[in-house]
Amino acid sequence: MNEFLRILLPIYFTVYFGIAFVLKSWIVAKRIQKNPLVLPKDDSAYGLIGRYFKLTMVAMFLYVLAFAIFPAWHGYFLPAIFLEHIVVKYIGLALLAISLTWTIIAQSHMKDSWRIGIDTETKTKLVTTGLFGMSRNPIFFGMTVSLIGLFLVTPNALTAIFLLIGHVLIQIQIRLEEEFLLKEHGAVYSEYMRKVRRLI
C-alpha cells in the first residue's frame, strides 16, 4: 500500500491544486478579465492568513514529494502506529477522492463568482444553490476533508500539524469572508446563514 501511496499522493495533490485552483482561476480570469486571486500582500491580519495558507500548502506538497522520494523519512515524522492499518488507509483514500470531486463540483456551482480571497472591488453574485444549499463554505469543507484524508493515509505528527493548522486557517478565513458577505449582501446573506450550516 505504501508503494502505491508514494506514487498516488504527489499525483493527487498536483491534480487537486492544478484543477481546483490554477485551472479554475485561469478559466474565471478569462471570463471576467480579472485575476480572481485577490489575497492581499500587505501586513494586515488578512494578508497574514493568506501567506500562512500558501506556506501550509507548499509545505504539504513538499511533504508528499519527500514521502514519495525518501520513504525512510516517514519514520522521522513520528508515525501514529495505532492508525497504521489498511482499513484506515482505505478510508483516507476515499476521503481524498470525495474531497477532489466535491471541491470541483462546488467550484462549478460558483461559476464566475469564484475568488481566492475577498474581492472588495467587484460585487459577485451570492451563490446559494447546488452544494451551497448544503454548506455555506463547501470548498473549505472539501479542503478540510482532504487534510483529514492525508492524515489517515500517512498518519504522523507532521500530517496532524497540517490538519490542525489548515483547520485553524480555514476557520479564520471563513469568518473573514462571512463578515464581508454579510456587509455586502445584508439581510439576504443573514437569512442564508440562518438556513444553511457553515460547513455541513
Q: CA dist 140 to 76, 82, 144, Å?
A: 30, 28, 6
**DSSP letters spanning 119-185:** -SSSPPPPP-SGGGGT-S-HHHHHHHHHHHHHHHHS-BHHHHHHHHHHHHHHHHHHHHHHHHHHHHH
* 175 CB burial (10 A radius; 0-12, 13-18, 19+): exposed
Classify residue 91: in a domain, yes or no.
yes
Q: What's the pLDDT at 68?
A: 92
pLDDT of 181 > 90? The answer is yes
DSSP 8-state symbol, 37: B
Q: Which amino acid is at 177?
A: E
Q: Is residue 58 part of a domain?
A: yes
- 119 in any annotated domain: yes
**Range of 88's domain?**
2-195
* Mean of the per-residue pLDDT values of the chain: 92
CB-based burial label for 103 (10 Å; 0-12, 13-18, 19+): buried
Q: Which residue has the cell 457553515?
A: 198
Question: Does 100 fall in a domain?
Answer: yes
From 5-14, 118-127, 169-178, the region with the lowest mean pLDDT: 118-127
Whether the CB-CB separation of 111 and 169 falls below 8 Å is answered with no
For residue 123, pLDDT over 90 is answered with: no
d(CA 21, CA 14): 10
194 vs 44, which has greater pLDDT? 194
Q: How confident is the model at residue 118 (pLDDT cuts 50, 70, 90)?
A: confident
Residue 150 pLDDT greater than 90, yes or no: yes
Q: What's the total number of domains in the chain? A: 1
Position 92 in a domain: yes
Picking from 69-78, 162-171, 191-200, which range would have the lowest pLDDT averaged per residue? 69-78
Q: How remote is the C-alpha of 51 from its chain's centroid?
A: 14
- pLDDT for res 105: 94
Q: What's residue 176's pLDDT?
A: 92
Q: What tens digit of pLDDT does each residue of 22-76 get?
A: 888 899 988 888 888 888 888 887 888 889 999 999 999 999 999 999 988 888 8
Specify the CATH number for the domain of residue 120.
Answer: 1.20.120.1630
**0.95 surpassed by pTM:** no
Residue with the three cell numbers 439581510: 187
Question: Which residue carries 470541483 as its cell?
Answer: 104
Q: For a pLDDT cut of 70, what percent of the chain falls above it?
A: 100
Identify whether 200 is part of a domain: no
Counting Cβ atoms within 10 Å, is residue 196 exposed (0-12), middle (13-18) or buried (19+)? middle
Judge residue 18's burial from the number of C-beta atoms within 10 Å of its C-beta, 0-12 exposed, 13-18 middle, 19 or more buried.
exposed
